[in-house]
């Protein structure tokens, strides 16, 4: 459901902008203009003097691949304490496909992937005749791929300074704007360095300091893929990210701003066990020479080079393949909200939970190091559920929420910052359930 509910703004009027908003009227005074280059970091100070009072800070933290039940299965005392003190969901349902880039961007726009345009980690755009790739610098930096309005742009439009220490979509302009500070993704940067980089931004003078920040950790996702969700290595990754969150809280306390900080901690998707013994080969379903293969894995997609999509779907269905469903794009189940974008392949293949669609090309080599965990399946499956918790002065205490879809998180972020949200696919259910007032 489209929604655009009204909220009072508390951070002053919107300033004229050339390249990015450089400040706003707060509490009757003009804040200092920030002349730092985007992404420039001063040296991190772990124990500075307490900072002067400022409006409540909101930090949105993503723990990639943190399945909804890891919080109970594995020791994570810091996250568990935050969950007990604030609001926690039984599980948060990702959007389809339950992959990293589509869901990170859904979380910050409130739009389904078919509406914001990032329909997978890798996809082909027939109008551009080009392929988007999550690890391609051009894809991350070019605004033509990214629709919707992410939370940091909503904030900047309304005079709230933002900072993104990694987040899909934060490296490009949107509506002609950028976050005040951002860092291009560097997967080799250790978790503690990411925390210290964010804390360094909070050491800036009050007029330059962000009020909204994002922080991204990927070690749990990497462990889940390599070793599987039930492996001791994944448990160790959960412990490591828990320690990184503790480092952040310690830094906030040292700066005297912990009690003024709201935390929203999410995951983009869960993780399911898989392996080379549960494979559906594309070559068993079709003549791959007659199609353009656009995605494989828990879900796959192809564009016919000859014939029609309907003819290809009929021929696959005639084979009655096991462990996979085949759809025309317009036939994809309505509850997946994955039909109305030409970037979605005309023929979609959705595997059963734990099964993957692969090609025989190079399989003998790839099978020896095949992932023991993955994601991308139907969000309704148990293993795809994601973490959600919120803690801080803006949020209620000791609340356990029923499962909900992640399209509603954007409106909650806006409400916590007293921002008017852009039009989106969510509603105000989280605002009513989570906010203290």
State the CB neighbour count (10 A cutoff) for residue 360. Answer: 12
Give the residue numbers marked as catalytic: 100
And the tokens for 305?
């080079």
Peptide bond into 136 cis (omega under 30): no
- Taking each helix axis from N to C end, the angle separating 219-227 and 232-254, rounded to the nearest 10 degrees, works out to 180
| Residue 85 to residue 391: CA distance in whole angstroms | 7
- Taking each helix axis from N to C end, the angle separating 77-85 and 232-254, rounded to the nearest 10 degrees, works out to 60
- What single DSSP character describes residue 435? B
**Distance separating the N- and C-terminal Cα atoms of the chain:** 24
The rounded radius of gyration (Å) of the Cα atoms in the chain is: 22
| Residue 148 to residue 404: CA distance in whole angstroms | 21
Separation in Å, CA 409 to CA 187, 260, 310, 338: 25, 20, 37, 19
| Residue 25 to residue 60: CA distance in whole angstroms | 24
Q: Find out whether 216 and 166 touch, Cβ atoms under 8 Å.
A: yes
Q: How many H helices and E strands in the chain?
A: 13, 22
């Amino acid at each position: 459901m489209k929604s655009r509910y009204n909220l009072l703004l508390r951070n002053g009027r919107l300033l004229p902008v050339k390249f990015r908003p450089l400040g706003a009227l707060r509490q009757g005074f003009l804040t200092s203009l920030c002349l730092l280059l985007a992404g420039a970091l001063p040296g991190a100070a772990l124990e500075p003097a307490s900072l002067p009072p400022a409006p409540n800070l909101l930090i949105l933290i993503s723990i990639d691949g943190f399945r909804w039940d890891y919080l109970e299965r594995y020791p994570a005392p810091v996250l568990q304490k935050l969950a007990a003190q604030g609001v926690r969901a039984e599980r948060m349902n990702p959007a389809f496909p339950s992959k990293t880039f589509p869901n990170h961007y859904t979380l910050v726009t409130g739009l389904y992937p078919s509406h914001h345009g990032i329909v997978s980690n890798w996809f082909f755009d027939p109008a551009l005749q080009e392929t988007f790739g999550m690890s391609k610098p051009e894809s991350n930096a070019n605004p033509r791929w990214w629709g919707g309005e992410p939370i940091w742009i909503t904030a900047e439009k309304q005079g709230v300074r933002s900072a993104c220490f990694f987040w899909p979509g934060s490296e490009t302009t949107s509506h002609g704007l950028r976050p005040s500070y951002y860092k291009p993704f560097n997967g080799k940067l250790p978790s503690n360095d990411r925390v210290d980089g964010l804390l360094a931004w909070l050491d800036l003078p009050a007029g330059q300091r962000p009020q909204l920040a994002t922080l991204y950790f990927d070690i749990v996702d990497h462990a889940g893929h390599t070793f599987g969700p039930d492996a001791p290595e994944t448990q160790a990754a959960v412990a490591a990210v828990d320690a990184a969150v503790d480092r952040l809280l310690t830094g906030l306390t040292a700066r005297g701003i912990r009690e003024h900080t709201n935390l929203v901690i999410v995951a983009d998707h869960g993780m399911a066990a898989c392996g080379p013994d549960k494979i559906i080969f594309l070559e068993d379903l079709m003549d791959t020479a007659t199609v353009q293969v656009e995605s494989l894995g828990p879900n796959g997609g192809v564009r016919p080079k000859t014939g029609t999509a309907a003819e290809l779907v009929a021929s696959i269905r005639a084979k009655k393949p096991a462990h996979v469903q085949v759809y025309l794009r317009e036939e994809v189940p309505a509850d997946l909200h994955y039909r109305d974008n030409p970037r979605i392949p005309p023929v979609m293949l959705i595997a059963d939970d734990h099964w993957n669609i692969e090609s025989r090309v190079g399989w003998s080599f790839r099978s020896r190091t095949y992932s023991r965990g993955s994601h991308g399946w139907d969000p309704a499956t148990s293993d795809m559920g994601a973490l959600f918790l919120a803690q801080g002065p803006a949020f209620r205490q000791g609340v356990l929420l029923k499962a909900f879809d992640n399209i509603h998180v954007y409106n909650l972020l806006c409400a916590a910052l007293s921002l008017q949200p852009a039009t989106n696919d969510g509603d105000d259910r989280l605002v009513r359930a989570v906010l203290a007032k």
